[in-house]
């Protein structure tokens, strides 16, 4: 029909995401690029890849890397974990007061960026956060 216009470029997952996703999606992509180019580590947005991210954070912590030196990388790792959850569950990014949260379809809220910081402090795991977020119920 003349009024029905097919716009295939509008239907991509990225373009239909809420505005709250813009920053964390960029942070995650930056972390993927940094790891590929700097550490020759490939991150593919799978839950299994979070094992490698947890190990990388643990290594940075054991080396005594100052938190300030890795804050943006931790933010990127957290956003990456959030994107893994979003892609696996159909969750959405939410933003409030400068924080970025993932809201899973069951209504639970997750803060993967904060979890990355907890992981660096030796008290968290992005892999376990993803496991919990992708399991049904709470």
Question: Rounded to an integer, what distance in angstroms lies between the CA atom of residue 34 and that of residue 112?
Answer: 19
pLDDT in tens, 26-75: 999 999 999 999 888 899 999 999 999 999 999 999 999 999 999 999 99
- Render 45-60 in DSSP notation, one character per residue: S-TTHHHHHHHHHHHH
Q: What is the pLDDT of residue 20?
A: 84
Structural domains in the chain, CATH included, are 8-134 (1.20.120.1090)
Residues 6-34 have pLDDT tens digits of 444 443 333 345 688 899 999 999 999 99
Total-model pTM:
0.84
């Amino acid at each position: 029909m003349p009024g029905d216009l097919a716009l295939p470029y509008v239907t991509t997952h990225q373009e239909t995401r809420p505005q709250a996703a813009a920053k964390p999606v960029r942070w995650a992509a930056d972390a993927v690029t940094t790891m590929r180019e700097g550490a020759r580590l490939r991150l593919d947005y799978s839950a299994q890849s979070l094992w490698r991210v947890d190990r990388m954070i643990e290594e940075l912590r054991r080396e005594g890397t100052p938190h300030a030196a890795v804050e943006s990388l931790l933010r990127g790792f957290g956003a990456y974990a959030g994107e893994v959850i979003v892609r696996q569950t159909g969750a959405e990014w939410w933003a409030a007061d400068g924080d970025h949260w993932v809201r899973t379809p069951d209504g639970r809220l997750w803060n993967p960026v904060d979890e990355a910081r907890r992981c660096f402090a030796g008290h968290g795991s992005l892999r376990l956060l993803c496991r919990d977020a992708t399991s049904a119920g709470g």
